[in-house]
Structure 1
Amino acid sequence: MNSSPTEADNPNDGRLIVAITSRALFDLAESHALFEEAGLDAFREHQTQREDEPLAPGIAFPLVRKLLRLNPPKPAPARVEVILLSRNSADTGLRIFNSIEHYGLDIARAAFTSGAPTAPYVRSFGAQLFLSANPDSVTGALDAGIAAATILPSKAPSLSSDQLRIAFDGDAVIFGDESERVSQEQGIDAFHRNEVERADQPLSGGPFRGFLAALHKLQEAFPAETSPIRTALVTARSAPAHKRVILTLRHWGVRLDEALFLGGRDKGPFLETFGADIFFDDSTHNVESARRHVATGHVPHGVRNR
């Protein structure tokens, strides 16, 4: 897969840009099921008849609301921009924009593709992160070198915070999957030997390295002691494999506020304690545990997903 897009590929003027599909932002389960069962005409009629009825918030709605709250009052330049991508037509998508207005979300840019794939527009908008309910769209974005995740049906965390709280898995998400390949192919003992022997060699960057760097840059706009953003690494690694992770992040000059080395424990309860607004992981086993506790995005990247 390609490396993360460079700044030249992302003309975003230093903003954090997140592209999100309408099915991740709003609860479109009923209308999507109608489309699958009865076809486009029934879907179009359903949406136009209800275009003044606000859609219910979807899994990623709280995340988007917190992201947009990071912006200073206008006319100061925005720190964060959220782009809406939808396979609706502009006509059937009017209900989506009406819902955005109803909830007071500052989302002005959008692409309505009338059934065509939305992922190609992610790079055009300069987004560093793409969230979708469509796994194929997510895979296409990852192949293009953009951090992307499939938003899964999930439970909202019981512990809420005014802070934006984002948690990441390490290998095959923030980092490359070279160490995970050793674990999968040669076993856990070989993995630990590999990490001890290469502790001073930084890990390669994974698909979310660029997004993490952009998030870190955004954090630097706020005092550390009162930052509205908090990040966490939540990894199955444990000692002695922790050292290489810490030294890699130091080498990159990136700060993570919390690091949980769980040694294979289920991640869900720890993510709930952290109060994650979203958690990103490549492992289907881990996301199944996580989504029972917090909003979760599956990153179909690396050796576990081949």
Structure 2
Amino acid sequence: MQKPNPPQMHNAITIAVSSRVLFNMEKEQQIYKQRGVEEYIKYQEEHEQQPFSPGPAFSFVKVRHDQEEDAEKELSTPHCRALEAVNARLRELYPDSEELFDVVLMTNNKAYVGLRLINTINHHQLAIERICMTGGNSPIGYLKAYHANLYLSADPVKVREALEEGIAAATMFTQEKMAEVSEIQLRVAFDGDAVLFSDESERIFKAHGLQKFFEHEKTHENKPLDHGPLKGFLEALGKLQKKFYEKGHRMDCPIRTFLVTARSAASSGIRALKTLRSWGLEIDEALFLAGAPKGPVLEKIRPHIFFDDQMFHVEGAAELGTVACHVPYGISQRVTKKGVMDKDTSPAHE
């Protein structure tokens, strides 16, 4: 089967992923920390033909099969990849469309180490043609050159740098449990405040308490919230969804979006929904939890990826198998009791 041409960068929705979230490189990272860069490079070269196992971003790029399949069967299996499933449907409806998902691997490894990464990409048959290897330098400066709509990394420092550059970004963590996800529909879940929206309302809550927060939202319910760091990514998803809607595929669209927020529907949900409407954005499902834990709801949704600004919700979702990402933005940034946010802030090879 002939590979389709990769999407054009200026038209594609580009997901930039670091090597340490696409693949499991925990062992190699420990070698780098404990034995230094030269031993790290030597180890990578010696294991060049040994592919990495999947990391937390893997299901976002490619849905895993329950059983091992030969290469020919995997290539012919429809909808075996999350992003590729969307691309395949788009190509059916719009043969000449260049508005497709594209994945770029970003790594600050040297090119010698990159050979193992390329071998791993080929082993898992991932649709990744663009790789940025920066040889020890930060890849953040290249994100805009690659027209990145979203950057996923295991390094919170790099994620913050990307956010400061105005690029949607989030930190991903290796987790023990990962739930099975849909093979025919890409599902993306967002928190509201400090993710899709600004942290304006959270600041009121932190400074003046819950009652003042409710009063503020009621008096400002017709004033749209300012945008948060991931609004642009939701816009990009919505742009693709509309292409399916225009062809009569609203009910079986292969992209589904979710707002999963701690807001109460009656007390503060109106402003959130009116804000989305003012932006011209649709959200498929809105779940207002009134402060309840998000993990059980996300376990039911089974999104490929979930974004939240509070580590409490990220950890709770991850414990139940959801691939949850932390967006280090806004007033609610706190180090958890486990120290998750700061456990790996040393220079990293991604």
Matched positions, count? 296
- Structure 1 residue 159: Cα displacement: 5.6
Equivalent residue letter for 1:235: T
Q: Is 1:299 aligned with 2:327?
A: yes
Give the one of 256, 260, 281 matched to 1:234: 260
After superposition, the C-alpha distances for 1:174-230 in whole angstroms (9 at most, x for unaligned) are 000101100011101000000010111111100011111001101122211111111
* Match of residue 77 from structure 2: none
Query: Residue 305 of structure 1 aligns to a residue in which SS?
Result: coil
After superposition, the C-alpha distances for 1:8-52 in whole angstroms (9 at most, x for unaligned) are xxx944321111100010000011111111111211121111111
Q: Is 1:175 aligned with 2:175?
A: no
Q: Is 1:118 aligned with 2:139?
A: yes
Structure 1 gap segments, 5+ residues each? 1-10
Q: Is 1:36 aligned with 2:66?
A: no
Equivalent residue letter for 1:227: C
- Structure 1 residue 152: Cα displacement: 1.6
* Match of residue 3 from structure 1: none
Residues 68, 105 of structure 1: 8 Å contact kept: no
What is the RMSD of the two structures over their aligned residues, measured on CA atoms? Answer: 1.7
Query: Residue 286 of structure 2 aligns to a residue in which SS?
Result: strand
Give the one of 122, 125, 139 matched to 1:104: 125
- Structure 1 residue 158: Cα displacement: 4.6
Residues 85, 185 of structure 2: 8 Å contact kept: no
Q: Is 1:145 aligned with 2:166?
A: yes
Structure 1 moving runs of 4+ over 4 Å: 73-76, 158-161
Residues 104, 128 of structure 2: 8 Å contact kept: yes
TM-score (norm 2): 0.81
* Match of residue 6 from structure 1: none
Distance 1:267 1:227 in 2: 25
Distance 1:136 1:191 in 2: 31
TM-score (norm 1): 0.93
Residues 108, 134 of structure 2: 8 Å contact kept: yes
Query: Residue 17 of structure 1 aligns to a residue in which SS?
Result: strand
- Structure 1 residue 161: Cα displacement: 4.8
Structure 2 gap segments, 5+ residues each? 1-7, 63-81, 335-350
After superposition, the C-alpha distances for 1:127-158 in whole angstroms (9 at most, x for unaligned) are 11000000000000000011100002233125
Distance 1:153 1:27 in 2: 8
Query: Residue 157 of structure 1 aligns to a residue in which SS?
Result: coil
Q: Is 1:205 aligned with 2:227?
A: yes
Q: Is 1:27 aligned with 2:7?
A: no
Equivalent residue letter for 1:300: P
Q: Is 1:261 aligned with 2:288?
A: yes
Distance 1:84 1:159 in 2: 22
